[in-house]
């Protein structure tokens, strides 16, 4: 499956407008066409296996999202359950490495590397949600290390990307060739205060919520989503690149993004 990021429609935050002096999450990212997709080193390994199920419910509050969702062509995103344990059928296909009950994306201590794993079928997020435990995100005080969740329209009409970079969240996308941003009231990223992430579709809007324990949730922001979420491929990814505006990005240490507990917060370690 070819999940290569292509051109303008596949670049991370083409250029976010940053306040003078910089803000958390401020990013000057570059198109990903030139990034090394990996050859087995630095986290570029074939996804092994996972345990998944087509039962369960989701939604902005963890309940709802049962069929039908949107036009009813694709299963609700909340029905995709995965603890990333070895031995089952893989849910995400790509260069992420499934090990120790997590899906990992290891970034090297030098050079540039983009690694991604994507679902093999689309899911509906219009009235549903995805919830993930993120024990560790690839990020640093300055831009140069990125952790993503991508939602790519099945009809190739656009995408939404949730990005953590420079210890801040950003939520934006492109629909019909037009860029859009969903503002976040609180963009700062703290791995302890935001160990759980949730993207929820609700009446034409998309919301980001985070939680320290997967039980009590804080809404970081929501806004109109011009891209239809009736059918989207879901991708998890991490990236290391040299940010020309921040020379120190070339010297950032190695880091690993780790994902777990997809839509299974109850009883998930």
Architecture of domain 9-260: Sandwich (2.60)
Model pLDDT, residue 67? 53
pLDDT over 70 (residue 167): yes
Q: How many CB atoms lie within 10 A of CB 160?
A: 25
Q: How many helices (H) and strands (E) does the chain have?
A: 0, 16
What does the pLDDT average to over 7-33?
32
| Global pTM value | 0.79
Report the alpha-carbon distance of residue 259 to residue 237 in Å, rounded: 10
Model pLDDT, residue 5? 35
Q: Name the burial class of residue 225, with classes exposed (0-12), middle (13-18) and buried (19+) by CB atoms within 10 angstroms of its CB.
A: buried
Model pLDDT, residue 150? 98
- Digit-coded pLDDT (tens) for 46-101: 233 344 433 333 344 444 444 579 889 999 999 999 999 877 778 999 999 998 89
Counting residues of the chain whose pLDDT is more than 70, the rounded percentage is 74
Report the alpha-carbon distance of residue 220 to residue 210 in Å, rounded: 7
Write down the domain spans for the chain: 9-260
Which residues neighbour 40 within 8 Å (Cβ) at sequence distance 6 or greater?
none
- Digit-coded pLDDT (tens) for 191-248: 999 999 999 999 999 999 999 999 999 999 999 999 999 999 999 999 999 999 999 9
């Amino acid at each position: 499956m070819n999940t290569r990021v292509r051109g303008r429609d596949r670049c991370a935050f083409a250029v976010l407008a940053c306040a003078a002096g910089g803000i958390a999450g401020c990013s000057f990212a570059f198109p990903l066409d030139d990034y090394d997709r990996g050859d087995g080193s630095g986290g570029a390994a074939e996804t092994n296996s996972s345990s998944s199920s087509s039962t369960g419910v989701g939604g902005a509050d963890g309940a709802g999202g049962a069929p039908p969702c949107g036009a009813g062509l694709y299963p609700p995103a909340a029905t995709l359950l995965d603890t990333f344990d070895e031995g089952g059928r893989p849910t995400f296909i790509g260069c992420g490495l499934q090990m120790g009950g997590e899906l990992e994306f290891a970034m090297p201590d030098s050079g540039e590397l983009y690694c991604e794993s994507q679902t093999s079928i689309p899911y509906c997020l219009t009235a549903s949600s995805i919830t993930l435990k993120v024990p560790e995100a690839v990020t640093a005080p300055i831009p140069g290390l990125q952790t993503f969740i991508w939602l790519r329209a099945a009809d190739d009409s656009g995408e939404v990307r949730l990005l953590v970079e420079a210890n801040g969240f950003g939520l934006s996308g492109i629909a019909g060739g037009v860029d859009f941003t969903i503002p976040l009231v609180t963009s700062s990223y703290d791995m302890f205060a935001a160990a759980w992430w949730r993207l929820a579709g609700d009446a034409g809007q998309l919301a980001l919520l985070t939680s320290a324990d997967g039980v009590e949730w804080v809404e970081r922001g929501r806004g109109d989503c011009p891209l239809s979420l009736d059918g989207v491929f879901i991708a998890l990814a991490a990236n290391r690149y040299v940010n020309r505006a921040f020379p120190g990005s070339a010297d950032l240490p190695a880091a690993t993004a780790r994902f777990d507990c997809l839509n299974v917060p109850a009883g998930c370690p």
